[in-house]
Chains A and B, each alone.
Chain A
Amino acid sequence: MDRCNKLVDVGRRQFLRGGAFAAAGVATAVALPAQAQTKAAPGLALVEYPSNRLANIADLKPNEPFDVGYPDENAPGVLLKLGTKVEGGAGPDGDIVGFSTTCPHKGFPLNYNADDHSFNCPGHYSRFDADAGGQQIWGQSTANLPQYALRIDDKGDIYAEGVDELLYGRLSNVL
């Protein structure tokens, strides 16, 4: 429950007292840390993403979120093996996806609902569809959920090599 305790710091309006937030106790996501590493921005037109090994296919259990951080450890996310092929899915079954789990609206940690493959925000009730590229099902975010560009090598190692929307709380995805 160490991760959940960090949630205390993220809301300045006592969100923990709310029923919705309290019910999100089994959140899969990692709260945003207060500090992050500083790196100089490269002088290129595009943000240069690291190619990070996040897991091996063998680490993933069907429909169970696997916690990761990308592009760095201060940007929480998950890998999911959905069990059915989806557009943009990686791996031999085309069913492996990776998403940021920080709500693009106000930065609250999303929780994953395995029953309907949705990410849910206890702050303002936004929902994102893991089967549909992170499309916001309903909510306050003006962007769909940032998704990782994944590459899987011959050994089954899963690498993230990019993100398709701006991550909450940083004006450059790579800091």
Chain B
Amino acid sequence: MAYKRHIDRLPIIPADAKKHNVTCHYCIVGCGYHAYTWPANKQGGTDAASNVFGVDLSEQQAAETDAWYAPSMYNIVKQDGKDVHIVIKPDHECEVNSGLGSVRGARMGETRFSTARGSQMQRLTDPMVWRYGQMQPTSWDDALDLVARVTAAVVKEQGEDGLFVSMFDHGGSAGGYENTWGTGKLYFGSMKVKNIRIHNRPAYNSEVHATRDMGVGELNNCYEDAELADTIMAVGTNPLETQTNYFLNHWVPNLRGTTLDKKQAQMPDEPHAAARIIIVDPRRTVTVNACEAEAGKENVLHLALNSGTDLALFNALFTYIADKGWVDEDFLKNSTAAEGKARPALYPARGEADGKPGHLTNFSGAVEGCRMSIEEAAGITGLDPADIVKAAEWIARPKEGGKRRRTMIGYEKGLIWGNDNYRTNGALVNIALATGNIGREGGGVVRLGGHQEGYVRPSDAHVGRPATYVDKLLIEGQGGVHHIWACDHYKTSLNAHEFNRVYKTRTDIVKDAMSKVPYGDRQAMVETILAAIKAGGLFSVDVDIIPSKIGAASHVWLPAAESGEMNLTSMNGERRMRLVERYMDPPGNAKPDCLIAAGLAQHMEKVLREMGDAAYADQFKGYDWATEEDAFMDGYNKNAGGGEFVTYERLKAMGNNGFQEPATGFADGKIVGTKRLYADGVFSGEGGKANFMDAPWRGLQAPGKEEQKAKFKYLINNGRANIVWQNAFLDQENEFVMDRMPFTYIQVSPDDMGELGLKAGDLVEVYNDDGSTQAMVYPTPTAKKGETFMLFGFPTGVMGNVINDGVNELVIPNYKQTWANIRKISDAPEGVKHLSFKSQEYQAV
């Protein structure tokens, strides 16, 4: 049977409950919520005067009511040391979500740490160290002293290259401006750590170098543009599942035609219709189905291309549009580079350097370099030539009266973690530039995003470009100490099987050594650890909110707080910045990451001074922060563009609508923001111009991909599912989610199931020369034969185990193009038997 809570009544929020601004801390969309808290021994009533809604709750409330909350939104948490009731419910006044809650965000309540109700008891409450053969609690001073002594000794001996760091760069969750600054100041300010990577990839690089190099920042539009566009083009994204309320609240109304009045009011001099949508994705997703249900099949063009061939498609579209003359001449003249540049000598096989794998030029140079016929692209992509022409028409053919068509282009991991990231990204931006669709209503060429953002750090220029391939160096035995900040390589990396094997071996060398000396003898302990490092070992420090998979190999765990347990600022996919107000205590002794980084810096200073290196010790000054607000003022306020206009007090007053970065002033009690970037036609490239990219097709770019494709039978496409947030770090202890998803599914076509002798729910092994993993079979009639889909980063079936180690010139991984074989392990186990394996597609009748 399906999981049921058997909760048939909830405490009512009293009229005098405390109300806190909350931005959902999960996906990029950043829906507005409020956290209501009140004392454990109090409750509101059904009469209007005694509840926070001011309505009679003895009556059935209507659909979309503000005056209801689900059991998943409720919990009992600690606030200033006391138990309080909490309800975290969607904000109906927030422009982002208008009261909608996703299946992820609407579970924030029940995924809070609660000793009273036993939820998320996996959360770390104390620093933990390897002692007597297992992880044991200790004090902050003790743990930080050990970390600082080992780190300082390694850095003194090997230089800062002996310190490897994996650190999140995102907003939301336990990220945000406070915490990226705290960690950034430590590793890029006090030190210049080069062997460093980000949470979801094996290097410290941009996911979208190309668009930035072209002078076009990747979050350049606003969510309202999806309501204003004539055409939406979605590339490598499944927004109904991964940017849910952006899709539901801003795309769907345009597909339904309910934003026509808004279009007419804002853009009165041109004809308008309901939006059409082009979806570029090898897989038919629930997004495609929902778009068909809303807009009608005739207004949805799903380009189900061969995996990894997006670049060929974009070049054919660009060529066709240019040849037809469906371009914005004024925009080209005023906002893009006038002069072309000669190709580098080895182009197109190689760019000017590994760090510059493309060729930036002007419009005509790009048209020449990218030239591809519809027929050739059809051959590569497997698409119908007529569909490619139709897409070009929907994107760029002028509207009635010769008016420019407004097309918004959104892309995400299908492109970012796809074949030839750099050139594919560039080729897509080419289309937006040619058609003048940046900085204007209904336009934009934007990442749709994963996490929220919240990045402010000292310069990372010393890391270099291409950046260090950190996972590879760790596998090769480099590095003596590894600091991990909310990253889990075991789940969310490529070549994960081999990484896990080597990482465990190296950290076990240190664990076994540590077990030989009494923990209390600090000098002997540090000497023993250093000797183990010399013998090939690695000392691992994991800062996280829970014991992660990679943390199982670590020697020290430092417990972090997350959003709501601290004040935390982030921005969403339209650069909308908000403050989440602290509404509960962190578990036990957990702290915000910025304050952990500060503590580590202070211990480094002390230890280095003891070692007699006063000059180096002095570099670790400047962390006297008492609160996360101190870190915010030291970081964002002083270092972010427009940061000087932003304070906690002002953000609090701006509520869940916040403002859109960058701030440009403070007037009439409000922070003045920026609705769209480049609205003035001035871009980030040289002389304020945007560049085009000469980006010819070159097949599967990353090393090892063609060989893997030739050798193994099934494409193992991969990505996210609606119900699971990220790598399930909290969801793995949420009964509702784990009841539905005990293992990652693998979507398999009925034909393939027949050939492999599989039934729904069977556990299968997915294997190739790089590793192996497991999944449960989800029959999927819409899947193409030979093409499967798994969740990425799921704890009970790590897809990264079968991704080979090939990356592009800039060390961007290529997770999506992975091939493997499949074989049955067992019939559906007990925990799978109750599951529904019906089609995920909404059925109207």
Q: Which residues of A contact B (CB under 8 A)?
A: 9-14, 17-20, 23-24, 26, 31-36, 38-39, 41, 46-47, 74-75, 87-88, 102, 104-108, 111, 113, 115-116, 118, 120-127, 129, 131-144, 147, 162-166, 168-175
Q: Are A19 and B296 also in contact (CB < 8 A) when A138-B840, A142-B103, A171-B9 are?
A: yes
B57 at interface, CB cutoff 8 A: yes
Please determine whether B100 and A106 come into contact, CB atoms closer than 8 angstroms: yes
Which of A74, A116, A142 has the most CB atoms of chain B within a 10 A radius of its CB?
A: A142
Residue contact B64 to A11, C-beta cutoff 8 Å: yes
Minimal beta-carbon separation of B687 from chain A (angstroms): 44
Which A residues are CB-close (under 8 A) to B290?
A: 20, 125
- Cβ of B347: which chain A residues have Cβ within 8 Å of it? none
Contact flag A19-B9 (CB < 8 Å), given A34-B62, A137-B838: no
Q: 1/0 contact trace for B256-297 toward A, CB 8 Å? A: 111000000000000000000000000000100110111110
For residue B462, CB closer than 8 A to chain A, the reply is no
Give B67-84 interface residues, CB cut-off 8 Å to A: 68-73
Q: Closest approach, in angstroms, between the C-beta of A138 and any C-beta of chain B?
A: 4
In the bound complex, do residue A138 and residue B845 qualify as a contact, i.e. CB atoms below 8 Å apart?
no
Q: Are A170 and B103 in contact (CB under 8 A)?
A: no
11 interchain pairs, CB-CB under 8 A: A13-B258, A14-B258, A87-B1, A113-B845, A115-B843, A126-B842, A133-B2, A137-B839, A138-B286, A140-B103, A171-B69
Contact B842 A20, beta carbon cutoff 8 Å: yes
CA gap between A116 and B58 in the complex, in Å: 36
A87: which B residues are within 8 A, CB to CB?
1, 834
**CB–CB B8/A173 < 8 A:** yes
Contact with A along B822-845 (1 / 0, CB 8 A): 000000000000111011111111
A-B contact count (CB 8 A): 220
B103-A39 in contact (CB<8A): no
Question: A-contacting residues of B (Cβ < 8 Å)?
Answer: 1-10, 12, 46, 56-65, 68-73, 98, 100-103, 106-107, 240, 244, 248, 252-253, 255-258, 286, 289-290, 292-296, 722, 736, 739-740, 834-836, 838-845
Complex CA–CA separation, A172 to B106 (angstroms): 19
Q: Do the beta carbons of B9 and A47 come within 8 Å of each other? A: yes
Contacts of A18 in B (CB 8 A): 252, 255-256, 258, 293-294
- A87 to nearest B CB, angstroms? 5
Q: Are A169 and B2 in contact (CB under 8 A)?
A: no
Q: Closest B-chain residue to A12, C-beta based? A: B64
Cβ-closest chain A residue relative to B12: A171
B72 to A, closest residue via Cβ: A142
With A11-B64, A139-B103, A166-B9 known to touch, is A134 a contact of B843 (CB < 8 Å)?
A: no
- Tell me the smallest distance from the CB of B110 to a CB of chain A, in Å: 8
A81 and B296 CA atoms in complex are apart in Å by 33
B65 touches A175 (CB 8 A): no
A13 pairs with B70, CB closer than 8 A: no
Known: A38-B59, A75-B60, A169-B60. A134 touches B9 (CB 8 A): no
Report the minimal beta-carbon distance from B90 to chain A, rounded to whole angstroms. Answer: 10
Q: How far is the CA of A174 from the CA of B103 in the complex (A)?
A: 25
Contacts of A171 in B (CB 8 A): 9-10, 12, 46, 57, 68-69
Contacts of B57 in A (CB 8 A): 170-171
In the complex, the answer to whether B838 meets A164 with C-beta atoms within 8 Å is no
- A104, A140, A165: the one contacting B102 at CB < 8 Å is A140
Pair A23/B293 contact, Cβ less than 8 Å: yes
In the complex, what's the smallest C-beta–C-beta distance from A38 to chain B, in angstroms?
Answer: 4
Which residues of B sit under 8 angstroms from A132, Cβ to Cβ? Answer: 1-2, 834-836
Tell me, in angstroms, the Cα distance from A125 to B289 when the chains sit together: 9
CB-CB under 8 A from A9, the residues of chain B are 62
Q: Identify the closest chain B residue to A7 (Cβ).
A: B63
* Contacting pair A173 B1 (CB below 8 A): no
Tell me the complex Cα distance, A132–B836, Å. 6
B257:A32 contact, CB within 8 angstroms: no
- For residue B22, give the distance in angstroms from its CB to the closest CB of chain A: 16
**Are A170 and B68 interface neighbours, CB within 8 A?**
yes
Query: In the complex, which residues of chain B have a beta carbon less than 8 angstroms from the beta carbon of A175?
Result: 58-60
Q: Return A93 CB to nearest CB of chain B, in Å.
A: 18
Q: Are B71 and A165 in contact (CB under 8 A)?
A: yes
User: Nearest CB to that of A119 among chain B residues?
Assistant: B843
Q: Which residues of A contact B3 (CB under 8 A)?
A: 135, 144
Residues of A within 8 A of B5 (CB): 143, 164-166
Which residue of A129, A164, A170 contacts B836 across the interface (Cβ within 8 Å)? A129
Give the docked Cα–Cα distance between A126 and B740 (Å): 14
Kindly identify which residue among A23, A122, A124, A170 contacts B61, using a CB–CB cutoff of 8 Å: A170
- A135 with B740: in contact, given A10-B62, A19-B296, A125-B293 (CB under 8 Å)? yes
A residues less than 8 Å from B841 (CB atoms)? 127, 138
Query: Does the CB pair B257–A131 fall under 8 Å?
Result: no
- B295 CB, min distance to chain A CBs, angstroms: 6
Asked if B294 contacts A19 (CB within 8 A), the reply is: yes
- CB–CB B839/A116 < 8 A: yes
Query: Does A125 contact B63, Cβ atoms closer than 8 Å?
Result: no
A88 to B2, CA, bound (A): 10
Partner of A38, one of B58, B63, B740: B58
Known contacts: A164-B4, A169-B63. The answer to whether A137 contacts B836 by CB under 8 A is yes
A111-B845 in contact (CB<8A): yes
Residue of B68, B98, B100 ringed by the most chain A CB atoms within 10 A: B68
Complexed CA–CA distance, A23 and B9 (Å): 34
Are B244 and A125 closer than 8 Å at their CB atoms? no
A154 to chain B, nearest CB (A): 26
Measured CB to CB, the closest approach of chain B to A65, in angstroms, equals 13
Which of the listed residues A23, A26, A74, A165 has the most CB atoms from chain B within 10 Å of its own CB? Answer: A165
Query: Are B293 and A142 touching (Cβ within 8 A)?
Result: no
Residue of A nearest to B722 (CB): A138
In the bound complex, do residue B844 and residue A36 qualify as a contact, i.e. CB atoms below 8 Å apart?
Answer: no
Chain B residue with the shortest CB-CB distance to A88: B1
Residues from chain B with Cβ under 8 Å of A105 in the complex: 101, 103
Q: How far is the CA of A32 from the CA of B61 in the complex (A)?
A: 8
Interface centre among B103, B252, B835 (most CB of A within 10 A): B103
Closest 3 CB pairs of A and B: A23-B844, A107-B63, A135-B2
Closest to B256 in A: A18
Give the residues in chain A near B101, CB-CB below 8 Å.
105, 140, 142
B85 CB to nearest A CB, Å: 13
Q: Are A32 and B62 in touch, CB under 8 angstroms? A: yes
A81 to B367, CA, bound (A): 63
Chain A proximity of B780: nearest CB distance (Å): 12
Contacts of A165 in B (CB 8 A): 4-8, 71
Q: Closest CB of chain B to A113's CB: distance in Å? A: 4
Chain A contacts of B72 at CB under 8 A? Answer: 142-143
Residue of B nearest to A104 (CB): B70
Known: A32-B63, A140-B103. A172 touches B9 (CB 8 A): yes
Distance in Å: Cβ of B146 to nearest Cβ of chain A: 41
Q: Is the CB of A122 within 8 A of B8?
A: no
What residues of A have a CB within 8 angstroms of the CB of B9 in the complex? 41, 47, 166, 171-173
Task: Write the chain A residue with the least CB distance to B73.
Answer: A142
The residues of B that contact A74 with a CB separation of less than 8 Å are 60
A53 CB to nearest chain B CB (Å): 21
- B8 touching A127, Cβ below 8 Å: no
Say whether B722 contacts A107, CB under 8 Å: no
Inter-subunit contact B836/A120 (CB<8 Å):
no
Q: Which residue of B lies closest to A49 (CB)?
A: B8
**Neighbouring A residues of B103 by C-beta, 8 Å:** 105, 139-142
A127/B838 in contact, CB under 8 A: yes
In the complex, the chain B residue whose C-beta lies closest to that of A171 is B10
- Determine the chain B residues whose CB is within 8 A of the CB of A104 once the complex forms: 70
**How close is B89's CB to chain A, nearest CB, in angstroms?**
11
Among the listed B1, B65, B836, B844, which residue makes an inter-chain contact with A107, where contact means beta carbons less than 8 Å apart?
Answer: B65
B71, A107: Cβ atoms under 8 Å? no
A135, B252: Cα distance in complex, Å = 26
Min CB–CB distance B492 → chain A (angstroms): 24
In the bound complex, CA of A102 to CA of B836 (Å): 20
- A122, B844: Cβ atoms closer than 8 Å: yes
Q: Which residues of B contact A134 (CB under 8 A)?
A: 2
Is there an interface contact between B838 and A142, defined as CB atoms closer than 8 Å? Answer: no
Q: Report how far A167 CA is from B478 CA in the complex, Å.
A: 57
